[in-house]
Amino acid sequence: MTSILVLTGSPSAASRTAALLGHLADRWRSDGHDVHSIAVRNLPAEALLSADATHPEITTVTEAIAAADGIVVASPVYKAAYSGVLKVLLDLLPQYAFAGKTVLPLATGGTSAHVLAIDYAMRPVLNSLGAHHIVQGYFVLDRLITVTADGVALDEHAERELTAIVDEFSMVIHRDDRLITAS
């Protein structure tokens, strides 16, 4: 079984980013992946701000990343880039923490004017972590996400596009897994 780790960089527990990622996790589980999620805002704040990579909760994250086949990196767009909350965690990881991993970048934001933040801001950082394959990412406008009692409802067109993106990510992980198993 392949495993996916979801890292979310929203400073808010009740964020649309978080609700959206819960929705996608269900999809990947029904696709046969083992899915774990880490919200950076729940990690110890002092350890993150002082770059303490030896803190037990941080080493747990590093081990979870090492164990995963696929990594989803999700962030709201603030000030034309990924959130600082996401970046304080990435800064603490070993230099090539994403070596051998398939990575899916996702972003949410209030205006479509921020779409390119994925390719110009997030990808260079994910690439510097040695990612094997960063698949096409996706940007979801906040107003297309409705948080409901039992999860999240997405605008129909965005749902269709996002489904194609997450299925491609899922396919790439399965494919690489089969190859490794076969060889």
Q: Which of 16, 23, 101, 114 binds its own copies (CB under 8 A)?
A: 114
CB of 35 to its own copies, least distance (A): 23
CB of 20 to its own copies, least distance (A): 18
Task: Count H helices and E strands in the chain, helices first.
Answer: 7, 8
Query: What is the longest distance spanned by two Cα atoms in the chain?
Result: 46
Q: Tell me the two tokens of residue 167.
A: 């299925």
Query: Is-contact 2 33, C-beta < 8 A?
Result: yes
Spacing of C-alpha 41 from chain mean position: 14
Which residue, 149 or 182, is less far from its own copies as judged by CB?
182
- Residue span 25-54 as binding mask against its own copies, x where in contact by CB under 8 A, dash where not: ---------------xx---xx-xxxx---
Q: Which of 81, 106, 140, 154 binds its own copies (CB under 8 A)?
A: 81
Number of residues engaging its own copies in binding (CB under 8 A) = 49
Which residue, 19 or 77, is less far from its own copies as judged by CB?
77
Query: Is-contact 64 52, C-beta < 8 A?
Result: no
Q: Does 83 bind its own copies (CB under 8 A)?
A: yes
Please list, in sequence order, all residues whose beta carbon lies within 8 angstroms of the beta carbon of residue 149, skipping any fewer than 6 positions away.
Answer: none
